[in-house]
Amino acid sequence: MTDSQVVQLIASTRQELLKRAGEANKLHVLFGFDAFIDQVSDLVDKRLDFESFTRVETIRGFGQKIMDAAGLSTSLEHVPRYVKIGGSAVSTGLAMGRLGCKFTYIGCIGYPAVNPVFEDFAASAAAYYNIANPGQTLALEFQDGKIMLCNTSPLKEITWDRIVSEVGKDKLKELIQHSRLVATINWTMIPEMNNIWKKLQSEILPEITFDDGELRLFFMDPIDPEKRTGEDWREAMEIFARFSSHYRTILSINRKEATEVAKAYGIKFSVPLNDVGLRDLTEAIADAMDLYGVVVHPVDGAGAVIDGEYYYAPGPYTSKPLLTTSGGDNFNGGFCLGLLLGLAPQQALVVGAATSGYFVRTGRSPSWDQLVSFLACWERHAGEDFSDYE
């Protein structure tokens, strides 16, 4: 896209949002099931003194330190920057809540009591239901990405029986019936997700009557499916696709995850997988799946096949992000909101990119007014590397 086309796209998206001011407040959305306590850290390259150091700036540099230690051993130092709430269900729900939606969360923010780290999150939810304790993540941030080292053992407690025990079937039916979006996030790290989907399909959805005039989305972000086998993935997606009888089903993955999904389906290209263009990769994955929408979001933009048509939107690039952990979750929250508000798919991608763009520059999810303001800023700086926003 040319810069003028990008400016026009951003401007039209901003105008469509302005027409819908206040509509997000009418939307109920439901999120499950992961939650993590994220310790975001820098990796030390050279220690100058007790207070100061130079950090490892790139994942490649980190990888080289690991390679150099092969057959020997090494000690690496990380310096915590801060502790934050994490987990993609938590972060995406919080993003949509900040934009005005009423969100309910079912998951693992502490059991039986809310972990203190999540108290503000719980207070911002319309309702929450605890079924387990959170996982823990050491997030090493670099200029070109992040390395997430996760302890997922508490997530094994996320089961259908625990959900029914803590929420209740009748309440679960009520929540699902009144939610325009249901998002079940982190299939990779939740061993019981397939069974939870099956139970929703067999025990909950048949007893619900939806308003046929409303757009309803069933959303899934798998979170790094490389950790599971291709057979596991294909089986899971067969189950997930069955939600299409009640919802418009959406799969959202980043570029790395997209390459793993392509491998799982045995998709062949004429060039190495890492060199495949975004459109070719997105369309090939969509062709292999029976879903309403497939979204692939690299760091510099996003492509999507929605109802058989391909759409693309660039992102607001910055070479100096303040925070990248949860940037993809904020993209997902903005994108889903755009669709629920009735924006065109390409405009929904812009809303997702702007929500993420604001987050990586400030470390916070935007409010509705901040999102609109950021779009205006991006419109002025389209095609530029801009870091300063506030």
- pLDDT tens per residue, range 111-169: 999 999 999 999 999 999 999 999 999 999 898 888 989 999 999 999 999 999 999 99
Q: List average pLDDT for each run of 10 residues in the chain, which is 390 residues long.
A: 94 98 97 95 93 94 94 93 92 98 98 96 97 95 89 96 98 97 97 98 96 90 94 97 97 97 96 95 96 96 98 94 89 98 98 97 96 96 83
The pLDDT value recorded for residue 32 is 96
* Backbone phi and psi for residue 272, each to the nearest 5 degrees, phi listed first: -55, 145
Omega before residue 272 within 30° of 0, cis: no
Question: Domains in the chain, ordered, with CATH?
Answer: 3-41+86-380 (3.40.1190.20)
pLDDT at 79: 93
Phi, psi of 353 (to 5 degrees): -65, -40
Do the Cβ atoms of 141 and 117 come closer than 8 Å?
A: no
What pLDDT, on the 0 to 100 scale, is given for residue 182?
99
Residue 204 has what DSSP assignment? I
Distance between CA atoms of residues 201 and 351, nearest Å? 31
Any idea which residue has 């397939």 for tokens? 194
pLDDT confidence of residue 390 = 59
Count of H-run helices and E-run strands, the chain: 13, 14
